[in-house]
């Protein structure tokens, strides 16, 4: 899932090995070696196609982009649609039930991996195949003669990354909570993710074999965290299990099938073939190997596909038992070879009629990514306000971090009150104590939420991530200011956030009283500049005594627009004469913030 930071290189549809060597500054021998490792025998004068050249280029640290000639039809090829949207557009009579796709979340050491292994070992789908379990990021099992697909990459990072890209692969979340440990921070985080993604969640209350397991206590904690068990009139199924002894696993799978049935999980096996990349890597001697989850249609050997910013033909396809297969229907995870690069987990893929379309799509996505970088912030209060006005948004999603629990509670209560009295609902996805970190920004990105910090700092990684994802972080140290802003946002009256830029400082060295004019401050500019039209603030012993504007700025006898460091000047202020020798004048400008 690492970011692709290779240098781009433009290559034609076909290229001679010698020329490729020149363009990527590598020896032809090296290129021939790479080709051989990928199963292509070529000599220095041989022509190779773009896809092959791209693989070689990638191994040499370059990202190959097809020459412009093929870019003509770009406009006509849009984005790969989201699978949910695609299915909603299919002819309803063609839709059939498909296996649900399940992901497992939960706090570290609560037993996610053990549970995934236990389910897999006891419910292998294809017994006859006799293949060896392949860890390809997803697997399919059978329970009560029905199939269930599990995403095998526990952990929020994968889930969030997929959601951040809008892929939202899973239909159902199993939240694992160890009954001896109870609800922990990552349990709450998982609940926030599942709620934000609106994915139905079943709780697996694990480790019930342990003598210190406390089922009722944990259920209580779950209820407090917003997951009220159904036996207490809530709507969360809580299934006691032991991943170690296997107890309760059948009940858990039955619960999954029940939720799947209620939610009508369907697809058209004969429809447009598309889905999501689960994981991908470059494997030794195999080239790019990617695990795909087919979400609509049936993927076939030889198909031409585009996946994220990569494309290619499906040269080989395997199931989760390592068995070579020729086709894969909806909800089937498969491992494929033949892509010309490594797509990212969460990227969408689609089958196209010909190479040109697949490549054009790939280029289109790259262009779209460039445009996205330049566009406006994704989640800001101001933007929310515009969406509210346009009737596009009915919910304000927040992530709240405060310094101590004692300040968190009143903030949450007040915000909930605000939401209750407003047409827009307020949804607090997560609240926690401590500084704002990358994980907060990830959740905000995935859920289009705004991050609010109260007496906390933003760590550097979070700042960088927020800037690149264009997430709004608003920091406050006074509760009523925070509430005031939220109230305005909810009413659609929020002023854009303003930030200050320092222009310079001057020190008042003498106070002159000039008849008719009044008090004038005789100053020396100590750093930066003083501008006639900027704002000023006067401080005395670090206390602000005046904030406002200049009424005059003189250098010697002349009115001037600005005075630079080291120069003396005479300042007069609008409606303020109580300044004194030793005060500092700070000169600054104010402008609209684009994000935090």
Residue 278 CB, nearest distance to ligand GDP (Å)? 18
The nearest distance, CB 181 to ligand GDP, in angstroms, is 10
Provide the strand spans (E) within 268-374: 274-283, 287-296, 299-300, 304-307, 310-318, 327-328, 333-339, 348-352
The answer to whether residues 304 and 115 touch, using CB atoms and an 8 Å cutoff, is: no
**Least Å from the CB of residue 244 to ligand GDP:** 4
Taking the complex as a whole, the smallest distance from the CB of residue 109 to ligand GDP amounts, in Å, to 4
CB of 124 to ligand GDP, least distance (A): 19
Using CB atoms within 10 A of its CB, is residue 113 exposed (0-12), middle (13-18) or buried (19+)?
A: middle
DSSP single-letter state for residue 576: B
Measured at the CA of 528, the angle between CA 524 and CA 533, to 5 degrees, comes to 85
For the bound state, the minimum distance from the C-beta of residue 247 to ligand GDP, rounded and expressed in Å, comes to 8
Taking the least distance from each CB to ligand GDP, the nearer of 112 and 505 is: 112
Closest CA to 297 of 319, 323, 330: 330
Q: What are phi and psi of 301, to 5 degrees?
A: -55, 135
Provide the β-strand partners of residue 312. Answer: 305, 339
Least separation in angstroms between residue 19's CB and ligand GDP is 50
Residue least distant from ligand GDP (Cβ):
111
| Nearer to ligand GDP among residue 106 and residue 346 (C-beta) | 106
Calpha distance 331→340 (Å, rounded):
24
DSSP 574: T
CB of 253 to ligand GDP, least distance (A): 16
What's the min distance (Å) between Cβ of 502 and ligand GDP?
48
Whole-angstrom distance, CA of residue 311 vs CA of residue 357: 10
The CA distance from 569 to 582, in Å, is: 15
Name the residue nearer to ligand GDP (CB basis): 122 or 416: 122
Q: Which residues lie across from 172 on neighbouring strands?
A: 102
Nearest residue (CB) to ligand GDP, 90 versus 209: 209
Nearest to 95 by CA among 267, 220, 328, 294: 267
Nearer of residues 244 and 378 to ligand GDP, judged by Cβ: 244
Question: Which of residues 250 and 435 has its CB atom nearest to ligand GDP in the complex?
Answer: 250
**Beta carbon nearer to ligand GDP, 48 or 178:** 178
Residue of 150, 242, 238 whose CA lies nearest to 191: 238
Q: Which CB, 81 or 155, lies closer to ligand GDP?
A: 155
- Residue (48 or 202) nearer to ligand GDP, CB: 202
Q: How far is the C-alpha of 585 from the C-alpha of 579, rounded, in Å?
A: 10
Residues near ligand GDP (CB under 6 A): 106, 108-114, 154, 206-207, 209-210, 242-244
- Burial-class residue 540 by CB neighbours within 10 Å (0-12, 13-18, 19+): middle
């Amino acid at each position: 899932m690492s970011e692709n930071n290779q240098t781009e290189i433009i290559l034609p549809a076909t290229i001679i090995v010698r020329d490729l060597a020149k363009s990527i500054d590598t020896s032809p021998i090296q290129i021939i070696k790479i080709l051989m490792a990928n199963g292509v025998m070529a000599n220095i004068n041989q022509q190779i196609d773009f896809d092959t050249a791209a693989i070689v280029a990638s191994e040499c640290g370059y990202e190959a982009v097809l020459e412009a000639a093929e870019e003509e039809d770009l406009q006509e090829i849009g984005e790969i649609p989201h699978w949910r949207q695609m299915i909603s557009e299919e002819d309803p009579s063609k839709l059939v039930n498909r296996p649900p796709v399940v992901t497992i979340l939960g706090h570290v050491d609560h037993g996610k991996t053990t549970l995934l292994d236990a389910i897999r070992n006891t419910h292998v789908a294809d017994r006859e195949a006799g293949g060896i379990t392949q860890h390809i990021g997803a697997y399919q099992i059978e329970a009560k003669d029905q199939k269930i697909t599990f995403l095998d990459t526990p952990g929020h990072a994968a889930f969030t990354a997929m959601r951040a890209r809008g892929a939202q692969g899973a239909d159902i979340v199993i939240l694992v909570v160890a009954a001896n440990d109870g609800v922990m921070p990552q349990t709450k985080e998982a609940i926030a993710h599942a709620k934000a993604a609106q994915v139905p969640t079943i709780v697996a209350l694990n480790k019930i074999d342990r003598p210190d397991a406390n089922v009722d206590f944990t259920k209580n904690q779950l209820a407090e965290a917003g997951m009220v068990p159904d036996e207490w009139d809530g709507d969360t199924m809580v299934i006691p299990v032991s991943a170690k002894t296997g107890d309760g696993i059948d009940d858990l799978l039955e619960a999954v099938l029940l939720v799947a049935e209620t939610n009508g999980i369907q697809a058209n096996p004969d429809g447009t073939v598309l889905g999501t990349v689960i994981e991908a890597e470059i494997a030794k001697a195999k080239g790019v190997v990617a695990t795909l989850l087919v979400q609509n249609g049936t993927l076939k050997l030889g198909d031409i596909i585009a996946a994220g910013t990569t494309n290619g033909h499906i040269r080989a396809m395997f199931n989760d038992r390592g068995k070579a297969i020729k086709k894969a229907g909806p909800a089937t995870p498969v491992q494929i070879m033949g892509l010309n690069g490594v797509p990212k987990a969460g990227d969408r893929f689609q089958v196209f009629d010909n190479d040109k379309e697949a490549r054009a799509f790939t280029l289109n996505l790259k262009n779209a990514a460039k445009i996205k970088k330049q566009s406006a912030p994704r989640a800001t209060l101001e933007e929310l306000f515009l969406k509210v006005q346009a009737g596009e948004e009915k919910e304000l999603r927040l992530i709240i971090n405060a310094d101590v629990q004692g300040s968190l509670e009143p903030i949450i209560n007040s915000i909930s009150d605000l939401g209750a009295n407003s047409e827009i609902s307020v949804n607090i996805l997560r609240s926690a104590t401590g500084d704002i970190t990358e994980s907060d920004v990830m959740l905000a990105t995935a859920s289009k939420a705004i991050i609010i910090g109260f007496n906390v700092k933003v760590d550097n990684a979070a700042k960088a991530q927020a800037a690149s994802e264009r997430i709004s972080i608003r920091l406050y140290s006074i509760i009523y200011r925070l509430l005031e802003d939220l109230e305005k946002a909810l009413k659609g009256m929020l002023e854009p956030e303003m930030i200050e830029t320092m222009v310079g400082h001057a020190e008042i060295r003498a106070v002159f009283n000039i008849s008719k004019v009044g008090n004038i401050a005789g100053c020396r500019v100590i750093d930066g500049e003083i501008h006639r039209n900027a704002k000023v603030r006067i401080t005395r012993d670090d206390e602000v005594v005046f904030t406002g504007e200049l009424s005059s700025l003189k250098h010697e006898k002349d009115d001037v627009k600005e005075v630079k460091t080291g120069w003396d000047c005479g300042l007069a202020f609008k409606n303020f004469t109580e300044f004194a020798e030793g005060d500092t004048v700070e000169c600054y400008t104010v402008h609209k913030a684009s994000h935090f």
